[in-house]
Structure 1
Amino acid sequence: MRVMVLIKATKNSEAGVMPGEKLLADMGNFNEELVKAGIMLAGEGLHPSRKGKRVRFSGGKKSVLDGPFAETKELLAGYWVWQVKSMEEAVEWVRRCPDPMPGEDAEIEIRPIFEAEDFGAEFTPELRAQEDRLRAELERPRGS
């Protein structure tokens, strides 16, 4: 199963406080473990929400909101995408993670990613073929 591992933002991450050398090294080592174990598919840190935008959809209209966004506890500071055998395995990996926000309370959320079979009959053979084509295109190196 694939999961998205969400590192929640804190006051410091939203203020743009950058991680120190020790945390960068510890996270680099943790990421290396994840890659060697075949767990990590992707992962990145995110800039503070003041550099972001939100697009709101309401009543058929779209409006753009500029950051920063108020509720720090609902914002993200980074993410991973992992391939794991179970949610329990994902939890065990998160338990091994270095503290992502030293000196502050931190929270990491783990959410399963939908797979094709989760959509049932509504995900028709034509839609599955389209999804397969898109995935193949994404896996191709850019410019080829």
Structure 2
Amino acid sequence: MAKYMLIMRPTDESFANFANTDFAEIMDAMGKFNDELIRAGVLLAAEGLDDANEGVVVDFTGETPVVTDGPYGETKELFAGYYILDVASKQEAVEWAKRAPLTAGSKTEIRRVTTIDEFPQDNQWIQKERAWRELTGQL
């Protein structure tokens, strides 16, 4: 099994479609989808994100970090929420993403979540993180 993150990337078109859809319908469709993920035993986490206009950006392109009010880019660069699934393959993650009840114009980026085991185990920081994960029940 491997963890995959499904990153929801709305577009201007999907924002417009979302605005024209009854919120109760959206909640019902997402609730049913989430229930399927739970019953299949693959859902580890799922969260939506607040409006990008409410965020801030810490930009490291200069000598010192600069903080500005969000959003940091065009709509096509933003994401609105995510799922983390524990599935057997990237293809299984793709199949779940294709079933998500998203509005027309939406896109979903799928990326594997790396594990602590992929880093050098003799590194002191990896050892400290592993100890913390064990202490908090995350390993």
CA RMSD of aligned residues (A): 2.5
| Contact 1:5–1:111 (CA under 8 A) maintained in structure 2 | yes
- The amino acid of 2:56's aligned partner reads K
Q: Which runs of no fewer than 5 residues in structure 1 stay unpaired?
A: none
Taking structure 1 as reference, are residues 89 and 109 closer, same or farther at Cα in structure 2, changes over 3 Å only? same
CA distance in 2, matches of 1:107, 1:20: 20
Aligned structure 1 segments of 4 or more residues deviating by more than 6 angstroms? none
Identity among equivalent positions (%) equals 34
Task: Give the TM-score taking structure 1 as reference length.
Answer: 0.79
Q: How many residues are aligned here? A: 134
CA distance in 1, matches of 2:55, 2:117: 33
CA distance in 2, matches of 1:35, 1:133: 29
Q: Which runs of no fewer than 5 residues in structure 2 stay unpaired?
A: none
How far apart are residue 68 of structure 1 and its match?
2.7
- The amino acid of 1:115's aligned partner reads T
CA distance in 2, matches of 1:21, 1:56: 38
Taking structure 1 as reference, are residues 44 and 116 closer, same or farther at Cα in structure 2, changes over 3 Å only? same
Q: Give a deviation string over 1:91-133, Cα, whole Å, max 9, x none.
A: 11112211x22xx4110110111112322x3x42533332223
CA distance in 1, matches of 2:136, 2:56: 24
What is aligned with 2:97? 94
CA distance in 1, matches of 2:32, 2:136: 27
Taking structure 1 as reference, are residues 43 and 137 closer, same or farther at Cα in structure 2, changes over 3 Å only? farther
Task: Give the TM-score taking structure 2 as reference length.
Answer: 0.81
Taking structure 1 as reference, are residues 24 and 53 closer, same or farther at Cα in structure 2, changes over 3 Å only? same
